[in-house]
Amino acid sequence: MERVLVIGASGQIGTDLVLALRAKFGNDMVFASDIKDASREVMDGGPYLRLNAMDKEGIRKVVEQNHITQIYLLAALLSATGEQNPQLAWDLNMTSLSHVLDLSREGLFKKLFFPSSIAAFGPNTPKVMTPQYTIMEPSTVYGITKLAGERWVDYYAKRYNADIRSIRYPGLISWKAAPGGGTTDYAVQIFHDALKSGHHTCFLKEDATLPMMYMPDAIKATINLMDADRDALTVHSSYNIAGVSFSPAEIYEAIKKHVPKFTISYEPDFRQGIAESWPQSIDDSQANKDWGWKPDFGLDNMVEDMLTHLEKHFSVYK
């Protein structure tokens, strides 16, 4: 019987992941935690607690009291907010990971999920079909924390036989929660603007192609990797996974098919520089080989699904 703790559950991924984990393991088995309130659905649908990812003894207490077997560490400062406060990004992203790694080494729980990112790559990485193993050299503090995190995770797996699983998520697109300050946030805002104001001002250039993924695919990947047979896993740092790659101009055109009057303009800011340091597409063949990874969503079915859900969401909360 699995009992799960999600740390940083009130953010973009946690809002969807907690509900998926509760559907899988049972509502009472999944403890959502954060330093801020979560969505009503998350807070009312099962256990929710205030827990600071920097408080190692607080995490230990929650794990022991609730007989937790799996932890998903989602608390982090993301790429754009990390550049505004590099020291805080380093402190939060590394200290929280080091706490849960130490608790896993003590054998306090069985399995850890650590989310890495395409931000772990950098300007010297091959940009097209970026391989699983390649030059990394991230240029943002966020990317540096993700690469350092991957190295720690690999070290703990090999040295202490800890069961830690990790994915390099691309930019994630979802409708339930707002994104938390990343370079790909425009790809969520553009849907809100299409339905609300009819105009989107993009903070990236029109041809800034990046690897992206629709949230249902990201949740499927996370759960499938955590379920996979441990002996089948050959990557102990973090798996490349791919969804769909597109530029702002391409997603705009895909949305315009459904919202013909929608307009866009471009005012690139510091996030354009971050985008230019990242890959454009990802080779995820190792994830496919080891645990059968395959996305369900491409650009057109993702756009259709996002617009349908957001329209319903807006009509309920009007």
Give residues in contact with ligand NAD (CB under 6 A): 7-8, 10-14, 34-36, 52-54, 74-76, 78, 92, 115, 117, 169, 171-172, 179-180, 182, 184
Greatest Cα pair distance in the chain: 58
Tell me how far, at minimum, the Cβ of 50 lies from ligand NAD, in Å: 9
The residue among 91 and 304 lying less far from ligand NAD, judged by its C-beta, is: 91
Interhelix angle 186-195/299-317, nearest 10 degrees:
60
Beta-carbon contacts of residue 11 (< 8 Å; ≥ 6 apart): 34, 74, 75, 177, 180
Tell me how far, at minimum, the Cβ of 1 lies from ligand NAD, in Å: 26
The residue among 180 and 279 lying less far from ligand NAD, judged by its C-beta, is: 180
> What is the C-alpha to C-alpha distance for residues 125 and 194, in angstroms, rounded to an integer?
34
The residue among 91 and 258 lying less far from ligand NAD, judged by its C-beta, is: 91
DSSP state of 183: T
Tell me how far, at minimum, the Cβ of 104 lies from ligand NAD, in Å: 17
The residue among 189 and 263 lying less far from ligand NAD, judged by its C-beta, is: 189
> What is the C-alpha to C-alpha distance for residues 287 and 2, in angstroms, rounded to an integer?
24
The residue among 258 and 276 lying less far from ligand NAD, judged by its C-beta, is: 276
The residue among 11 and 248 lying less far from ligand NAD, judged by its C-beta, is: 11
Q: Are 115 and 180 in contact (CB under 8 A)?
A: no
DSSP state of 85: -
Tell me how far, at minimum, the Cβ of 214 lies from ligand NAD, in Å: 11
Q: Are 71 and 112 in contact (CB under 8 A)?
A: yes
Q: Are 163 and 101 in contact (CB under 8 A)?
A: no
Tell me how far, at minimum, the Cβ of 39 lies from ligand NAD, in Å: 10
Q: Are 157 and 164 in contact (CB under 8 A)?
A: yes
Tell me how far, at minimum, the Cβ of 49 lies from ligand NAD, in Å: 10
Pairing of strands 263-266, 199-202: parallel
Q: How many CB atoms lie within 10 A of CB 28?
A: 12
Which helix (H) or strand (E) is 24 found in, with range? helix 12-25
**Active-site annotation holds for 142:** yes
| Catalytic member of 48, 72, 133, 142 | 142
Which single residue is written with the structure tokens 């982090």? 76
Q: How far is CA 220 from CA 216, 289, 293, in A?
A: 6, 16, 9
Residue number closest to ligand NAD, CB atom: 11
DSSP state of 282: B
Catalytic (active-site) positions: 142
